[in-house]
Amino acid sequence: MSAYFPNVPDKIAYGGPKSKNPLEFKHYNADELVGGKTMRDHLRFSVVYWHTFSNPLADPFGMGTAIRPWDDHSGSVENAVKKVDVAFEFISKLGAPFYAFHDRDVAPEGKTIKESNANFDAVAKRLKEQQQKTGIKLLWGTANLFSNPRYAHGAATSPNMEVFAHAAAQVKKAMEVTHDLGGLGYTFWGGREGYMTILNTNMKRELDHLARFLHMAVDFKKQIGFHGQFYIEPKPMEPTKHQYDSDAESCLNFLRTYGLLDHFKLNLETNHATLAGHEMQHELRVAVDNGALGSIDANTGDPLLGWDTDQFPTSFYLTAQCMLEVLEMGGFTTGGVNFDAKVRRESYDPIDLFYAHIGGMDAFARGLKIAHAIREDGRLGDFVKARYASWDSEMGKKIEAGKSSFTELEAFITPKGDAAASPSGRQEMLENLFNEFI
Ligand code: XLS
Ligand code: NI
Ligand code: NI
């Protein structure tokens, strides 16, 4: 079945940490148990259609460099159907159980909504056949509401009501197709939901419209009986200067304000956390603490480049931090580790797509083992618990239960003269402890 990647074996094998074969996993061993669960089930890897099969690798200074022998550059439905076969050969060989797409990366947009929908249906038919043949599942679907010039001013936050209506029609279709393909989720990334200048912007009205849009999506979900999880994917900027869904906390606040919290979880992306001035672990912790971590768009930025470079994750430190939070929440349910990442413009060969994904999967597999070992060891968890020990005292418990007052606390602390000294935070010792496991 080596049609498009003839030099790649039918299955990327696990070669172990000593393997020197770049087409073997060093750490990801799908069936291996970590804490009683297979690595496959812990990590739930997913390949993204847009970067892996549709991205020509252009940048603002130059055209695409990607060599993709299967692409005839016609933009035809026939070529899109062929690309499905390429995608499923790739994902099967890699051994990832899931994939994700935007409507417009799988099928070309037509001149009218009708034509676009027909194109989408034609390609979705092949996606369904390939899913059945390979057992690969759709982690989530989404609609591209940011590439077409009609969305230049936003989609659900456009000042133009007809653009809002167009976006509604597009999301309706993307939800139907996702549902039909048995998708486990549906993601909303506000591609241009934000503003470039506040001078021309009615922010309140735009946010109200975005909430209306999402409420309609919730209604439509019920209408068609789609039980997949809805996700919001935060990002603070790019393409707009200020995106409304800027980070985990702001998304949760938005969802809470508009009565949407029960219907959405977060899909957190590493490079977006960086752009928001947060560590990914911070974003994940916010979501976990609110019972709202759904899925991860796994990638990484370059510390010296200030934009969303969407690189494949390679740092064990980063992946261990991510997996600590995932394990803390008890593992993924509907979501997974979705590689929203692209190879560099200089890495234009088809084989580079394999090297990139193998490296990302290995980085997360190793991160999983590190995180599991840190939790089993227990010293880190014990330290944090001990740091808050005074809160387990009688008075601490009373405050936490909402049963104390300023007056009572004044009477409690005044005779003591001052608060007891706080023990050292031991940051460096804990950093050393973390490194013991890397
Ligand atoms: C862009 C986003 C996008 C979403 C899906 O920065 O990460 O790729 O994941 O629309
Ligand atoms: Ni993403
Ligand atoms: Ni991104």
407 and 373 housed in the same domain? no
> Residue 78: which domain range?
13-377
What is the helix, strand, coil percentage profile of the chain, to 5?
50, 10, 40
401 and 337 housed in the same domain? no
The answer on pLDDT for 318 being more than 60 is yes
Mean pLDDT rounded to a whole number for the chain: 98
- Please report, to the nearest 10 degrees, the dihedral formed by the alpha carbons of residues 212, 158, 301, 28 taken in order: 50
CA of 233 to the centre of ligand 2 (A): 7
Instruction: Identify whether 205 is part of a domain.
Output: yes
Where residue 377 falls among pLDDT bands split at 50, 70, 90?
Answer: very high
287 and 419 housed in the same domain? no
316 and 372 housed in the same domain? yes
The rounded distance, in Å, linking the Cα atoms of 71 and 181 is: 24
Q: What pLDDT was estimated at residue 2?
A: 63
The string of pLDDT tens digits covering residues 253-275 is 999 999 999 999 999 999 999 99
Instruction: Identify whether 3 is part of a domain.
Output: no
Count other Cβ atoms within 10 Å, centred on residue 396. 14
Q: Can you read off the two tokens belonging to residue 268?
A: 């957190």
The string of pLDDT tens digits covering residues 378-407 is 999 999 999 999 999 999 999 999 999 999
Q: What pLDDT was estimated at residue 362?
A: 99
| Domains contained in the chain, number | 2
Mean pLDDT of 234-258: 97
412 and 297 housed in the same domain? no
366 and 427 housed in the same domain? no
* Residues, Cβ < 5 Å to ion ligand 2: 269, 297, 340
In this structure, the residues whose C-beta lies within 6 A of any atom of ligand 1 are 102, 142, 187, 189, 233, 235, 269, 297, 308, 340
401 and 361 housed in the same domain? no
Instruction: Identify whether 224 is part of a domain.
Output: yes
299 and 427 housed in the same domain? no
Regarding beta strands 37-38 and 33-34, do their DSSP bridges make them parallel or antiparallel, or are they unpaired? Answer: antiparallel
The string of pLDDT tens digits covering residues 11-68 is 999 999 999 999 999 999 999 999 999 999 999 999 999 999 999 999 999 999 999 9
373 and 411 housed in the same domain? no
CA of 268 to the centre of ligand 3 (A): 9
Q: What pLDDT was estimated at residue 3?
A: 86
DSSP 49-81: HIIIII----BTTB------TT--S---HHHHH
212 and 282 housed in the same domain? yes
Instruction: Identify whether 4 is part of a domain.
Output: no
Per the CB < 8 A criterion, the answer to whether 265 and 230 are in contact is yes
**Kind plus residue range of the DSSP H or E element containing 170:** helix 161-180
Instruction: Identify whether 7 is part of a domain.
Output: no
Burial class of residue 79 in the structure, from the number of CB atoms within 10 Å of its CB (0-12 exposed, 13-18 middle, 19+ buried) = middle
Mean pLDDT of 179-196: 98
Q: Can you read off the two tokens belonging to residue 239?
A: 């393409």
Catalytic amino acids? 102, 105
Mean pLDDT of 86-93: 98
The CATH number covering residue 241 comes to 3.20.20.150
The answer on pLDDT for 1 being more than 70 is no
Q: What pLDDT was estimated at residue 174?
A: 99
Mean pLDDT of 125-134: 98
Q: What pLDDT was estimated at residue 247?
A: 98
Tell me what percent of the residues of the chain surpass a pLDDT of 90: 99
178 and 268 housed in the same domain? yes
Q: What pLDDT was estimated at residue 306?
A: 85
Per the CB < 8 A criterion, the answer to whether 178 and 225 are in contact is no
The rounded distance, in Å, linking the Cα atoms of 120 and 107 is: 5
Atom of ligand 1 nearest to the CA of 146: 10
Scanning the structure block, which residue is given the tokens 């299967």?
70
276 and 335 housed in the same domain? yes
Instruction: Identify whether 6 is part of a domain.
Output: no
